[in-house]
Amino acid sequence: MQLSKGAEAYIYLEGDRIVKVRESKKYRINEIDSKLIKSRTKKESTALSKCNQHNIPSPKLIEFNSNKIVMSYIEGKTLSHYKNDIYYKQAGKILAELHKINLCHGDFTPNNLIVNSEVVYVIDFGLCEFSTYLEKKSTDLRVMKDSLKNEELFKIFLESYMSNYNEGPVVFERYLKNESRGRYKERV
């Protein structure tokens, strides 16, 4: 059963598994298209595998090939349905754990966090990057703040992130520096 279609892939539910299939884009040159699909699928599979190895709550990688990823299905509602402090603390800890292994999610929003049995899981690593750059890590903070639009929940999330990641204060400094740039400044 098809669950959704994103810009990059189709998502199917097959029993207790999610199957994510990247389809060819007609507007791209075949050779480039094939390389993009393969590299993005491999990167996302590697991210899931690293999360599994480090016990970061996320789908379990079952298998993958050049354009398809099979992973466990996590039933639940997205974090965007909740205003519970405990869940946002868990989200902060998850991002800290991702950044400890130099995994930047790229789209770390409440819609990419699933609550199941009081546990928050991170999903959808389609935009992830492995990076040590503070800029990339601070972008995950910015994306969460922009998607939340709730200062109190962001503060709870951020405190958890900072208390679970030794480099958190340095990443936060970069976040503040980025926020002071023209594009992020509040306009009067």
3.30.200.20, 2.60.40.10, 3.30.40.10, 3.10.350.10: which CATH number matches 2-72? Answer: 3.30.200.20
For residues 5-17, give the mean pLDDT: 90
Spatial CB neighbours of 88, under 8 Å, sequence gap ≥ 6: 79, 153, 156, 157, 160
Predicted structure pTM score: 0.91
Any idea what DSSP says for residue 129?
E
Domain-wise residue ranges, the chain: 2-72, 77-179
Find out whether 21 and 141 touch, Cβ atoms under 8 Å: no
Structure tokens at 116: 């199941």
Which of the four pLDDT bands, split at 50, 70 and 90, describes residue 187? very low
Domain 77-179 has what CATH class?
Answer: mainly alpha
Mind telling me the catalytic residues?
Answer: 107
**Per-residue model confidence (pLDDT) at position 25:** 84
pLDDT in tens, 30-74: 899 999 999 999 999 999 999 999 999 999 999 999 999 999 999
Condensed to tens digits (0 to 9), the pLDDT of residues 127-146 reads: 999 999 999 999 999 999 99
